[in-house]
């Protein structure tokens, strides 16, 4: 399969889960997102690359869900980095 663009993946998540995600709402969805971030943190502390790939995918999917239910286009949001607008270090 060819690589997907961010907007294509975000649209895929919207089509598959959008109605249920909107019904769940931002607060509950954010809690699911944080749970997945925790699972990613655990995976990164180990050496199982397959699990790390899985957890990165889950975090990205939940991030897309949060963006979708809050009407945020992640491609546009990423312009902060792609349009050389980042200043300083974090």
pLDDT tens digits in sequence order for the chain, 90 residues long: 689 999 999 999 999 999 999 999 999 999 999 999 999 999 999 999 999 999 999 999 999 999 999 999 999 999 988 887 667 665
What span, in angstroms and rounded, lies between the C-alpha atoms of 87 and 90? Answer: 9
Q: Which residue in 48, 21, 45, 23 sits closest to 32, CA to CA?
A: 21
Distances (CA, A) of 74 to 5, 41, 54: 11, 23, 20
| Mean confidence (pLDDT) of the chain | 94
Distances (CA, A) of 41 to 38, 51, 52: 5, 11, 9
User: What is the second-level CATH architecture of the domain 20-72?
Assistant: Orthogonal Bundle (1.10)
pLDDT on residue 82 = 85
Q: Where are the domains of the chain?
A: 20-72
Structure pTM?
A: 0.89
Cβ(10)–Cβ(62) under 8 Å?
A: no
């Amino acid at each position: 399969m060819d690589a997907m663009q961010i907007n294509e993946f975000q649209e895929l998540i919207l089509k598959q889960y959008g109605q249920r995600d909107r019904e769940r709402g931002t607060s509950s969805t954010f809690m699911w997102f944080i749970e997945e971030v925790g699972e990613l943190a655990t995976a990164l502390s180990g050496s199982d690359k397959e699990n790390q790939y899985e957890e990165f995918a889950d975090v990205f999917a939940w991030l897309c869900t949060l963006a979708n239910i809050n009407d945020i286009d992640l491609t546009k949001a990423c312009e902060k980095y792609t349009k050389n607008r980042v200043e300083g270090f974090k």
